[in-house]
Amino acid sequence: MRVDLHPVRAFLEARHEGLLDRAQAFSRDVLSKRKPPETDEEARTEARALLTLMGDASLFEPIQRQDYRGCCLLREELAFHSPLADAVFALQALSATPLFLRGTPLQTALATEAIAGAQMGAFAMTEPGAGSDAHAIACEARREGESYVLNGTKTLISNGGLADFYVVFAKAVKARPKGLTAFIVEAGSAGFEFVKPLVMSAPHPLGEIAFRDCRVSEGARIGKEGEGLKLALSTLDRLRATVGAAACGMAARALSEALQHAQTRRQFGKPLADLPLIQDKIARMAIRLRAARLLVYEAAWEKDQGAGRVTLESGMAKAFATENAQTIVDDAVQILGGRGVMKESMVDLLYRSVRALRIYEGTTEIQHLLVASQLLKPAP
């Protein structure tokens, strides 16, 4: 089964078909021949390798073009074959987008290197005491002449300990009390510390980092003091629908695996697919997936048409797609039975991988609050 353009074609342009063809060729020629990593160390090595391969294949280009439907297509295709490849794409998007939005020429050049696969980025916002509540961020950037000195800890950072540069959000002393400022911190900077890896059930480079009197130049600041939160929210608003696309890719793979198994596995003298309860599961899986894809591509289409913010659309897309992808993957495990929980099973990897999508870049609960806040706004 391949990503089906037909249900979402109304939201796409002719160029998107060529982009998907290129991504599917990459999946066929590269991803299909690579073994999924089993340990954190293997995941770190593989993520680096995938960065180079994806850069060479120009798969990150839609990030630079701010083509969010293109980003959705790529994440859906990559997630279908490799949750780790999808994560590599997601982190390049999260780290490069703020630089394309507010960066100086030098910062934009760094983002361009990331798009080429020559630099690996990370998005460092979460802290031990600050997750959904960004105002609770305690990492501090103290101004000293033409430099800033950063102190604080960031946790649950994808590519932590692996990235070449980090987009870091900290409180600048002279900014308004709740204002954040964004900075680029290179991994080799004095005072930057990779504290430890954080190991997930599905291998994915994650870690804790710290800044101990880490000095960066004024040129490392992204945008103005106090505008970091606005930049972070703008970045997440643009990319949130792509998380839903990744969820759809994982769900589509789970459905494909379930269909293949149901048609070949015989029980009670006939294929599982002949059993009404299995047919009911498969139907519900397909319906949930199609509905999720429509929400995802509608949100990305709105942004590509020039909408300032797509908080309502992207919140709906992420919440619905990730929650239903979890259900679809779980149903696939159930259809495969014992085979579905074996370590070598693709649906087992999907089961461990899809869960995080309901949390990162804004939990489902936060998305519901955002959607409700949009609906409850006074009419203009």
Which residues partner with 183 through β-bridges?
168, 221
Active site residue 13: no
Q: How far apart are the first and last CA of the chain?
A: 45
Instruction: Tell me which residue of 210, 207, 190, 189 sits closest to 198, measured CA to CA.
Output: 207
Tokens of 124: 């460092």
Tokens of 269: 């003298």
- Angle 6-9-10 (CA atoms, 0-180°, nearest 5)? 135
| Cβ neighbourhood burial of 141 (10 Å; 0-12, 13-18, 19+) | buried
Distance CA 121, CA 158 (A): 9
Beta strands of the chain (E only): which ranges?
Answer: 121-124, 140-144, 147-158, 165-172, 181-186, 192-197, 206-217, 221-222, 266-267, 270-271
3-state secondary structure of 275: coil
Choosing from 127, 313, 361, 365, the catalytic residue is 361
DSSP state of 36: P
DSSP state of 128: T
Distance CA 234, CA 231 (A): 5
Tokens of 156: 């649950």
* Catalytic (active-site) positions: 361
